[in-house]
């Protein structure tokens, strides 16, 4: 991804995550190799960060440390983090985006705190009342976008509609699709299935003036088959589905590992197929898809897995670069502008 | 599983499912080989069933055809099937359980119709207002029970509590566990996470007089890791999670197939490891775990996948045999009896 028109640096919460600051700094270094020209603002404890930077002179040249002694604990309650969080590495990194000093922020810290602070500092985009967490998921055809993955626990039909608008922009930006296929996650593909709220959301998506390519309801098994490019769901269901998929992939890795260490012939086979097995492992590597965006906010905020290592964190940085380089928020704002004359409540009434 | 004390036959809806009646009859034959002594009532079109039976004399001896011309269409609406379904193969098969002529019923037909008819004919067990769909899922440690998988779209805390009681009985019956570990599916393991209804269900499960081994909240990724033996969730989330896992397994099979056909050396490796790869394939074979029980009804009703082949349908029969042989409903009734003095509403008020 060209970073040439990203003149601003990226803001990193160098103290967030289980492996901070090491994984953050080494992840930033990997990201610099991948995106030459990228610049970094590193928020956190200078005494902890500087020795790591000294070992990576290339990164040291591209980075600036903004010192703070304070950071948000991984188990802090979001409400507490919000009240007392000013001056923490997370807060300052988000604030750099707000102040126009960075094109986006990445943190591997406390998810709830990151969401709460991002909402407070970056505000939601015009017309969006609830941001969502969006991320990529592998499919037999490539990748799809799923949202919401847990920013919200319950959602209205209107929320789901806006998630589709934002997911559409995300897929256009990150997957390079012209007109992404959009599906609404349900327990059956038939129109009669599911909650009333889902049926209402389907009505809204069928009657949009922005011409979304809405394909109706999809079921859980359709996601990995790549039936649609954007999967829209409430945050509870999305979170459970994604984690269930991660757990299933881990289960299967356990089976495969067991199969290929079962005896000398299996081990020989594993050796012969090692490149191919590595390929499968690579495709399943969750770290590759690390980096979930808080879509709907007035700035790009990306959450990395808390347990991210350097490779994983580097990928979260890459997602942020892609989202910024493809102007995801401008895309969302344009769509929302087209929708501004549309009264969702009226649409629901008309079609009831 | 010994079928010696199952003196009654099993009732099969011979016309339900995409591959009926062939898959049903050949599945019954496989089940007979697996459970010698098992007897069958086959409900459906005699002209279609008899020629298949004639080819399988062993099964012919153990089976009796109960003729009907009518069957429930796979796309029938449950309400219509209920109004006009009397006399269909599905209805008659369920009715055989009600009349005490069969120890359980299996159908690969229309899920909604099967649930509606089973509820009407078999009624719910005392104290249970909503039945649930329960099935097994593979874990690194063996298998776990998940419920509800889609009988309900929304559930109260009380429903979830009773799902746990029924799942507990299911795990004791089918997994042979003495005291199954029970988890409530949520988006985080912390007490503060999730809807209010989930927190209330957790309260009820913590304060039960029947000594359930409740382990609190579990996340989607904990299911395949085998952290608990019984996963309790609402029907919407459970359905999406299970299907997402199925789709993910299919995605990974696609990756593996691709890896082992990529070139001559990979093919040699696949040949050397063929027994092991078959082992993995077998572990992932959804057909092995075919057969979801409608728990909470006054009779054993099991739903097979609509697309079941003979092997798959045979496994749905096996589940039914196991559930009957282990008296699952007696186990649920005993627990419900112990709970009869417990006022769930009071418990929620006390701990609010």
pLDDT of residue A6: 77
Of residues A180 and B338, which shows the higher confidence score? A180
Q: Is A209 helix (H, G, I), strand (E, B) or coil?
A: coil
Q: Which pLDDT score, from 0 to 100, does residue B36 have?
A: 94
Name the residue among B224, B237, B260 with its Cβ closest to that of A276: B260
Classify strands B230-232 and B300-303 as parallel, antiparallel or unpaired: unpaired
User: Kindly report the CA angle at B185 between B182 and B189, in degrees rounded to 5?
Assistant: 90
Query: Residue A185 in 3-state DSSP?
Result: strand
Q: Tokens 């696609």 map to which residue? A: B254
Beta strands in chain A (DSSP E): 10-13, 40-44, 63-67, 105-107, 132-139, 142-147, 181-185, 213-218, 230-232, 292-295, 301-303
Residues of B in contact with A222 (CB under 8 A): 243, 247
Interface size, chain A vs chain B, as Cβ–Cβ contacts under 8 Å = 181
* Chain B CA closest to residue A242: B220
Is residue A350 within 8 Å of A145, Cβ to Cβ? no
Mutate to test the interface with A, among B73, B144, B243, B307 (most CBs of A within 10 A): B243
Q: How far apart are CA A230 and CA A169, in angstroms?
A: 10
Contact of B195 with A150, CB cutoff 8 Å: no
Contact A248 B249 (CB under 8 A): yes
Nearest CA in chain B to A111: B188
CA distance A44 to chain B (A): 27
Give the model confidence (pLDDT) of B11-65 as tens digits: 999 999 999 999 999 999 999 999 999 999 999 999 999 999 999 999 999 999 9
Say yes or no: ipTM exceeds 0.90: no
pLDDT for the residue B351: 47
A interface test, pick of B248, B267, B292 with most A CB neighbours within 10 Å: B248
pLDDT of residue A349: 65
The per-residue pLDDT for range B122-132, each reduced to its tens digit, is 999 988 989 99
The pLDDT, as a whole number, for residue A165 is: 94
Nearest to A195 among B153, B243, B250 (CB): B153
The answer to whether residue B255 neighbours chain A at the CB level (below 8 Å) is yes
Using a CB–CB cutoff of 8 Å, tell me whether A120 touches chain B: no
Show the DSSP H helices in A85-184 as ranges: 89-98, 111-122, 157-174
pLDDT of residue B1: 44
Question: Is A284 in contact with B255 (Cβ distance < 8 A)?
Answer: yes
Dihedrals φ, ψ of A52, to 5°?
Answer: -70, -40
Tokens of B103: 């120890």
Query: According to the model, what pLDDT value does residue A271 have?
Result: 84
Closest CB from B77, B243, B283 relative to A255: B283
Q: Is A265 on the interface with B (CB under 8 A)?
A: yes
Whether the CB of B171 is below 8 Å from some CB of chain A: the reply is no
Across residues B228-254, what is the average pLDDT? 93
Pick from A138-147, A176-185, B70-79, B112-121: least confident:
B70-79
pLDDT at B168: 94
Cβ atoms of A294 and A151 within 8 Å: the answer is yes
What length does chain B have? Answer: 352
Q: Is the CB of A251 less than 8 angstroms away from the CB of B225?
A: yes
Give the pLDDT of residue B336. 87
Kindly report the CA angle at B192 between B188 and B197, in degrees rounded to 5?
Answer: 90
Mean pLDDT of all residues in chain B? 90
Is B250 in Cβ contact with A252 (below 8 Å)? Answer: no
CB contacts of A195 in chain B (<8 Å) are 153-154, 236
CA distance A234 to chain B (A): 10
Q: Is the pLDDT of residue B87 over 70?
A: yes
What percent of the residues of chain A are helix, what percent strand, and what percent coil, each to the nearest 5? Answer: 50, 15, 35
pLDDT tens digit at each of 352 positions of chain A: 445 557 899 999 999 999 999 999 999 999 999 999 999 999 999 999 999 999 999 999 999 999 999 999 988 888 888 899 999 999 999 999 999 999 999 999 999 899 999 999 999 998 898 999 999 999 999 999 999 998 888 889 999 999 999 999 999 988 989 999 999 999 976 666 778 899 999 999 998 878 899 999 999 999 999 999 999 999 999 999 999 999 999 998 888 888 888 788 888 888 887 888 888 888 878 888 888 999 999 999 999 999 999 999 999 999 999 999 999 999 999 888 888 766 666 666 654 4
Contacts of B260 in chain A (CB under 8 A): 273, 276
Distance of alpha carbon A280 from alpha carbon A285, whole angstroms: 9
Out of B153, B270, B276, closest to residue A194 by CB: B153
A 148-167 residues with CB below 8 A of B? 150, 153-154
Residue B287 has φ and ψ, to the nearest 5°, of: -60, -30
Instruction: Show which of residues 44-73 on chain B sit within 8 Å of chain A, judged by CB atoms.
Output: none
Rounded CA separation A93/A100 (Å):
11
Q: Which residues of A touch B244 (CB under 8 A)?
A: 220-221, 223-224, 241-242, 244-245, 248
Give contacts of B228 with chain A, Cβ < 8 Å.
Answer: none
| Triad A284, A295, A137: Cα angle to 5° | 15
Nearest CA in chain A to B272: A269
Beta carbons of B134 and B149 less than 8 angstroms apart: yes
Separation CA A1–CA A103 (nearest Å): 15
Looking at beta carbons, which residues of chain B come within 8 Å of A284?
A: 252, 255
- Which whole number is the average pLDDT over B315-337? 92
pLDDT at B262 over 90: no
Statement: residue B320 has pLDDT above 60: yes
**CA geometry: angle at A179 spanning A175 and A183, to 5°?**
85
Cβ contacts (< 8 Å) between A244 and chain B: which residues?
A: 220-221, 223-224, 241-242, 244-245, 248
For residue B338, name the pLDDT band (cuts at 50, 70, 90). Answer: confident
| pLDDT for res B44 | 97
| Beta carbons of B265 and A248 less than 8 Å apart | no
Spatial neighbors of B305 by CB under 8 A, at least 6 apart, are B17, B108, B286, B287, B290, B312, B316
The pLDDT value recorded for residue B28 is 98
Residue of B nearest to A218 (CA): B240
Q: Do A259 and B249 touch (CB under 8 A)?
A: no
Task: Inspect the interface and report whether the beta carbons of A187 and B235 lie closer than 8 Å.
Answer: yes
Instruction: Please name the residue of chain B whose CA is at the shortest distance from the CA of residue A142.
Output: B251
Query: In this complex, do B268 and A272 lie within 8 Å of one another by their Cβ atoms?
Result: yes
Which pTM was predicted? 0.88
So what's the pLDDT on residue B154?
Answer: 83
Q: What does the longest C-alpha to C-alpha distance in chain A come to?
A: 69
**Residue percentage of chain B with pLDDT more than 90:** 67
């Amino acid at each position: 991804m060209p970073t040439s028109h990203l003149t601003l640096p990226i803001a990193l919460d160098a103290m967030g995550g289980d492996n901070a600051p090491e994984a953050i700094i080494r992840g930033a270094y990997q990201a610099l190799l991948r995106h030459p020209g990228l610049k970094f603002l590193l928020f956190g404890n200078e005494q902890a960060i500087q020795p790591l930077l000294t070992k990576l002179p290339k990164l040291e040249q591209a980075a600036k440390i903004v010192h703070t002694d304070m950071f948000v604990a991984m188990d802090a309650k979001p409400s507490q983090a919000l009240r007392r969080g000013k001056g923490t590495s997370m807060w300052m990194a988000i604030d750099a985006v707000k102040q126009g000093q960075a094109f986006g922020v990445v943190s591997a810290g406390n998810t709830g705190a990151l969401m709460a602070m991002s909402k407070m500092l970056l505000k939601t985009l015009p017309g969006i009342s609830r941001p969502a967490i969006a991320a990529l998921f592998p499919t037999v055809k490539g990748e799809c976008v799923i949202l919401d993955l847990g920013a919200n626990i319950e959602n209205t039909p209107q929320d789901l509609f806006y998630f589709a608008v934002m997911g559409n922009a995300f897929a256009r930006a990150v997957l390079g699709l012209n007109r992404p296929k959009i599906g609404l996650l349900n327990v059956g593909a038939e129109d009669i299935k599911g909650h009333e709220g889902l049926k209402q959301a389907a009505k809204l998506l069928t009657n949009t003036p922005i011409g979304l390519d809405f394909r109706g309801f999809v079921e859980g098994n359709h996601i990995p088959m790549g039936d649609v490019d954007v999967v829209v769901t409430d945050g509870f269901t999305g979170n459970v589905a994604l984690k269930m998929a991660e757990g299933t992939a881990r289960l299967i890795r356990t089976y495969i590992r067991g199969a290929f260490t079962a005896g000398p012939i299996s081990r020989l086979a594993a050796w012969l197929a090692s490149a191919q097995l590595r390929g499968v492992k690579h495709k399943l590597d969750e770290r590759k898809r690390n980096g979930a965006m808080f879509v709907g906010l007035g700035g790009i905020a990306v959450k990395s897995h808390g347990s991210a290592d350097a490779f994983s964190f580097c990928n979260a940085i890459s997602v942020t670069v892609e989202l910024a380089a493809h102007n995801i928020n401008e895309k969302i704002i344009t769509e929302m502008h087209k929708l501004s004359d549309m009264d969702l409540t009226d649409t629901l009434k008309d079609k009831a």
